A and B are shown apart, each in its own frame.
Chain A
Amino acid sequence: MNAFGQVTVRAALKAEILAKFAECLPVAFIIADQNGLIHLVNRQTELLFGYEQTELIGQPVEILIAETLREVHVKHRADYMEEPHTRVMGSGLQLSARKKNGKEFLADITFGPMITTDGMYVVVVVTRRREDSLA
């Protein structure tokens, strides 16, 4: 293969990896818009919460939070939108998440702002606390 061929193969591989990357992430993530509406979820989120993605898209993210926390969450996210920043796993929030069947579990939540030409979105990563999953 000549040098041009190699560059083409490398570029194609990179494009392939980027295209498949999101679906291969071994963690539940949600992309929400600036109004807190869910735009996209991955398979891990469906498994973690017991919803199909079609049931989540367009809903406010509070659907995934324990009922007692919803009101305060709306406030928190309004504050976050005023001053978006990355909260890394390990320094993030812990809160009670709520599955479709009403069961709650302790979750670690982290966020990363994503600024696009359509405005701001937030990538939210949700992991179940490990202690909880061992109990």
Chain B
Amino acid sequence: MNALEEITERVLQKAAVLGKFIEAIPVAFLVVDPKSAIYMVNRQAELLFGYDQSEMIGQTVELLVPEALREAHVKHRVGYLEEPHTREMGTGLLLSGRRKNGTEFPAEISLGPLVTTEGLYVVVMVVRRHEGSFL
């Protein structure tokens, strides 16, 4: 195997492991682009929200927020993008999520900024919380 083939093989191996890691994460997540359009989702997010990934990708994240909260959410995310920081699970926001069928559920949201050469992307993790854990 020549050097270029070796490098290519290593890159492919790394990509395969990363892909498996991403699939194995047992939490729903989205990756959102600098314009707050959904760039990537995992299978858990499809199950949680009832949309296929093709229906979510390219939409603004407010698709997944109850209608009554959308306006406030736009403000929050603009504020976040001015001062991005990691909001860990457990210290995250409590919000409601909205499924494709219109039902809502209490959700905890945590955020991780992901800086790229094409601007700031954000990893958003969504955990459904039982009513009781709001207290």
Binding site for B on A (CB under 8 A): 9, 13, 15-22, 24-29, 31, 44, 47, 86-90, 92, 110-116, 121-123, 125, 127-131, 133
Within 8 Å CB of B92, what residues of A? 26
Interface size, B (range): 35 or more
Indicate which residue in B26, B86, B111, B129 contacts A125 across the interface (CB closer than 8 Å). Answer: B26
B116 within 8 A of A: yes
Within 8 Å CB of B40, what residues of A? 17
* Listed A/B pairs (12) with beta-carbon separation below 8 Å: A18-B18, A24-B86, A25-B25, A25-B29, A25-B125, A26-B89, A27-B125, A90-B127, A112-B23, A112-B26, A127-B90, A130-B133
- Tell me the minimal C-beta distance from B115 to chain A in angstroms: 8
- Tell me the minimal C-beta distance from A17 to chain B in angstroms: 6
- Tell me the minimal C-beta distance from B96 to chain A in angstroms: 14
Overall SS of chain B's interface: mixed
Given contacts A21-B18, A128-B90, 7 further A-B contacts (CB under 8 A): A17-B121, A24-B113, A25-B123, A44-B88, A88-B26, A92-B26, A131-B133
Binding site for A on B (CB under 8 A): 15-29, 31, 39-40, 44, 47, 86-92, 108, 110-118, 121, 123, 125, 127-130, 133, 135
The docked-state distance in angstroms from the alpha carbon of A123 to that of B22 is 9
Whether A130 touches B125, Cβ cut-off 8 Å, given contacts A26-B89, A112-B25, A114-B20, is no
- Tell me the minimal C-beta distance from B84 to chain A in angstroms: 11
- Tell me the minimal C-beta distance from A94 to chain B in angstroms: 11
The docked-state distance in angstroms from the alpha carbon of A20 to that of B112 is 11
